Amino acid sequence: MARVPLAILLFAYAPATALAQTNNPPDLPVIVVQGEAVLKRMPDRAFLAIATEVRDGKAANARRKSAEGMTEIRAAIVAVGVPESAIRTSGYSLQPELEYSGGRPSVRNYVVRNQIEVRLDDLDKLADVIDAANLPKNIAVTIGSPRYELKDREAAEIEALRLAVQSAMARARALATGAGQTLGPVQRIQQGSVGLITPPPPYRATMGIAGVARGGGGAADAAPAAAPAIPETPITPGDLEIRATVSLTVAINK
């Protein structure tokens, strides 16, 4: 087999290497900017957590009382116009409540906790649901703060991303103009964070106190006090914020 000198091989390879290096375009000058957009939308959906807690010395009694109370609550919620399909059980537990005597544990009570989540597609019913959930008198009822949402959250997030890119382009143009340059094509767009920012819990239950009418005379002239009226629970949802950030890389024309 004939041997080709190494010098000849290197000579033949060198022009190809030089040609490849010549064809690589130099790095373009670019501007890298961040863009952010915040949309505000009124919520059109809410989720409400309602929990009951029952204690009894017998597990069967505690479970029965809990079932009766939650059944009453669910029926009252349906009665104000919420469909059954919008109510789901989000938690359930039956646990012994222990007490210690002489270092030995014994069961004092059995505690049953039952929690449901109610989806409300009509926010006008939110106050009615809160008031309806307080009907049972023989069990403890806990109502959490409403969690607000958008039915078409994805559309709002896409709109926020579009505005964030526009914001980034405006920043890039401002930088280029300040440097006496013009922008070229966009080299890269990278999505950053996109999310829904919920406002702090807005609702507060209030109790009405009826006043006593006073006549011109003494106690005999005083009108009988009216029974305290319980007003509807006021609910005022705040705006939701959809925030999006992007990173934009734009070339600079030479």
Q: Report residue 25's pLDDT band, with 50, 70 and 90 as the boundaries.
A: low
pLDDT digits (tens, 9 = 90+) for 164-177: 999 999 999 999 99
Question: Domains along the chain?
Answer: 27-42+152-252 (3.30.110.170), 45-149 (3.30.70.2970)
Token pair listed for 126: 């939110």
Query: Quick one: DSSP state of residue 20?
Result: H
pLDDT computed for residue 94 by the predictor: 94
Average pLDDT, integer, range 20-29: 61
Phi, psi of 63 (to 5 degrees): -65, -40
For residue 44, give the amino acid letter.
D
Please tell me which residue, 105 or 95, carries the higher pLDDT value. 95
Give the number of other Cβ atoms within 10 Å of residue 162's Cβ.
13
pLDDT computed for residue 46 by the predictor: 95
pLDDT computed for residue 65 by the predictor: 94
pLDDT digits (tens, 9 = 90+) for 188-209: 999 999 998 876 554 443 332 2
pLDDT computed for residue 138 by the predictor: 77
Instruction: Please state whether 102 falls in left (phi above 0), alpha (psi between -120 and 50) or beta.
Output: left
Residue 247 makes CB contacts below 8 A (sequence gap 6+) with: 32, 33, 34, 35, 168, 188, 189, 190, 192
pLDDT computed for residue 107 by the predictor: 87
Q: What element of type H or E holds 176?
A: helix 153-178
3-state secondary structure of 96: strand
Please tell me which residue, 220 or 234, carries the higher pLDDT value. 234
Q: Is the pLDDT of residue 20 over 80?
A: no
Residue 254 makes CB contacts below 8 A (sequence gap 6+) with: 29
pTM of the model: 0.69
3-state secondary structure of 18: helix
- In the chain, the percentage of residues whose pLDDT exceeds 70 is 76
Token pair listed for 167: 């914001």
For residue 113, give the amino acid letter.
R
Average pLDDT, integer, range 8-14: 44
| Cα–Cα dist 44/49, whole Å | 17
| Cα–Cα dist 85/230, whole Å | 30
| Cα–Cα dist 49/150, whole Å | 18
